[in-house]
Chain A
């Protein structure tokens, strides 16, 4: 059974610092891994999708890496801004289109 863990649960950084968010999964038989952003009381916004055959994906200030052998994915956010404050969720997709989510990392970027 797939288990996805995100550590730390919360993170606070000053504006301008780079953010590093970690995601680990127990079953390497994932087909892809998605990173999402969730603002309080809102839905999930898809940030990046990394296919299992890929090592990383980039979008603007965001870069996500995937290492299936070690069961890890990392989301990097360069030059953080107060608007980046949110909860970030990772989810691994197994066969059958089912996503298993981590508990999330709650990020606060202080101006």
Chain B
């Protein structure tokens, strides 16, 4: 059972370009979460999705950022018109639903975005 798969592992974009980060959850997991880790900072929640639904996007910047988790295929985090401040490691996690107490999140290896 492969873990959470993220690609690409490293992504370099020029200012103003678009960045697309992909995440395939663990087999059998229908809940996906995106977190961002800025240099020398902790991980911060961005968005929580289930298939075809955004459940909580309270951590997502209001502009330029969007996320989806279609019925088929991976979850996508899209950043439009990237700026230097978007340079960070973006982590995806997935889980099943085992009730509030038992739900355990499993993380991918992350995508390290560098904006030049």
Please list the residues of chain A having a beta carbon within 8 angstroms of any beta carbon in chain B: 31-32, 34, 36, 41-46, 49, 51-53, 89, 91, 93, 95-104
Contacts and interface: CB of A to CB of B under 8 A. Distances in A.
B105 A34 contact: yes
B110 interface: yes
Contacts of A46: 104-107
- From B43, B44, B58, B91, residue with most partner A Cβ within 10 Å: B43
Interface size class, chain B? 20 to 34
Contacts of B106: 46
A43 B33 contact: no
A52 B101 contact: yes
When A and B form their complex, which 10 residue pairs have the shortest distance between CB atoms, in order from nearest? Answer: A44-B107, A43-B109, A51-B101, A31-B100, A101-B43, A103-B42, A101-B42, A49-B104, A31-B101, A43-B107
Nearest to A96: B56
B42 A104 contact: yes
B25 interface: no
Interface in B72-116: 91, 93, 95, 100-110, 112
Interface of B: 4, 6, 31, 33, 35, 41-45, 48, 55-56, 58-59, 91, 93, 95, 100-110, 112
Nearest to A32: B101
Contacts of B109: 42-43
B105 A89 contact: no
Nearest to B106: A46
B107 A89 contact: no
B97 to A, nearest CB: 8
A93 B103 contact: yes
A96 B101 contact: no
A102 B110 contact: no
B110 to A, nearest CB: 5
A95 B106 CA distance: 18
Contacts of A101: 35, 42-44
